[in-house]
Amino acid sequence: MSIEKEIRSILDARVSVGKEIGVQFAVMKGGKFLADACAGFTDESRTRTVSSDTLFPVFSTGKAFCATAALRLVERGELELERPVREIWPEFACNGKEEVTVRQIFMHRSGVCERPFYQNHREITDWAVMRQRVEKAFAEFPPGSRTQYQSVNYTWLLGELMLRSDSRKRTLQQIILQEAIQPYSTGMIYFGVDDEAAKRTVTLTRNPSFPKAPEPAPCWDYELEAIMNDDAIRRACLPGFNCIASARGLALHFSALLDGRILGKDILDEARKDISQPGDAASYGLGYAIQDNGNIFGHGGYGGAQVLANARTGIVAAYTCNLMHSDDGMRNYLQSLLEDDQSADDPQQWDHKTGQLIR
């Protein structure tokens, strides 16, 4: 059985037994698709089927694309990794954060980990308000001493640095679109959907067995799928958590990273370095979650979505879903694909000019 048929069979089975509502799965190697599969429906009503063009909220999976855009600024010398954040963003230098560096922001080592307070979830879209709350936050440990996930704070931490460092003075949405998404994933990855993309986006549902986010009130005391089902959130640019994408788009981006079409080899090698220490909850490079001494890199998102690339095998795999769950079955399967010498009976190339798969 070809990998495409195998994946389609797995997805169909998961939908039929209720483990998924709608799902996509894409695998690439050497710039070609080995699989670009989907199954199921866009919401619980099961009236609209999922296609490869359907878009899914993928939560923190989008941190990877925010990081890619920022790394492009680093590569051009507009943003310096060892520079103290206070020199770029003076208001940030308080409450134990005075010595935080740009590198520590990238790598989740700043100590700014507690999610900021908000009055209601629409307030999250007010950049100035949320930025000021992050500015006033306390470092929970000496910056640089360990890795602890910066969660949604990544939105304002790295986002504000990009805004203040960009020589062209673009909006954050423009920076990420132009530096990380175009031309390889245009129309497939969004940080702020337009009307057309909104129509292609699924509705999220929580599996009753899936636990809520662990932070206590008043921080993020809403179910996260309810926040991401809100049109105002979907239309904002909040790159720490509100990415909306297809599995095809996720895979195309990381395939382009492996091929050197977005970042140069030196900066990508630097981004994949593993400096984790005993006691760190996870390993992060410059924005990417890393495994296997940096050979495997990518990012996962709340509720299941994930994209990973293996620099040794050249394989990229991506998964999206709209039933929020803690079932690791698909993530484990995705991980297994990265290690195998994958091949396809009929690999398909993506034509960026026509927006079509070609044989």
pLDDT at 346: 55
Write out 151-210 in H/E/C secondary structure: HHHHHHHHHHHHHHHCCCCCCHHHHHHHHHHCCCCCCCEECCCCHHHHHCECCCEECCCC
Tens digit of each residue's pLDDT (9 = 90 or more) over 159-176: 999 999 999 999 999 999
| CATH classification (class only), 3-358 | alpha beta
* Interatomic CA distance for residues 136 and 65, integer angstroms: 26
Query: Which has more confidence, 123 or 341?
Result: 123
pLDDT at 350: 46
Tens digit of each residue's pLDDT (9 = 90 or more) over 22-64: 999 999 999 999 999 999 999 999 999 999 999 999 999 999 9
Residue 314 in this model has a pLDDT that exceeds 60: yes
DSSP at 139: P
Q: Position 158: which residue type?
A: L
Helix axes of 63-75 and 154-165: crossing angle, nearest 10 degrees: 30
Residue 280 in this model has a pLDDT that exceeds 80: no
Residue 349 in this model has a pLDDT that exceeds 80: no
CA neighbours closer than 13 Å in the CB half-sphere of residue 137? 24
Residue 279 in this model has a pLDDT that exceeds 90: no
The answer for residues whose C-beta is within 8 angstroms of residue 46's C-beta and 6 or more apart is 21
Q: Report the 10 Å Cβ neighbour count for 92.
A: 25
pLDDT at 73: 99
Measured between its terminal Cα atoms, the distance across the chain in Å is 19
Residue 211 in this model has a pLDDT that exceeds 90: no
Q: Which residues pair with 318 in a beta bridge?
A: 26, 307
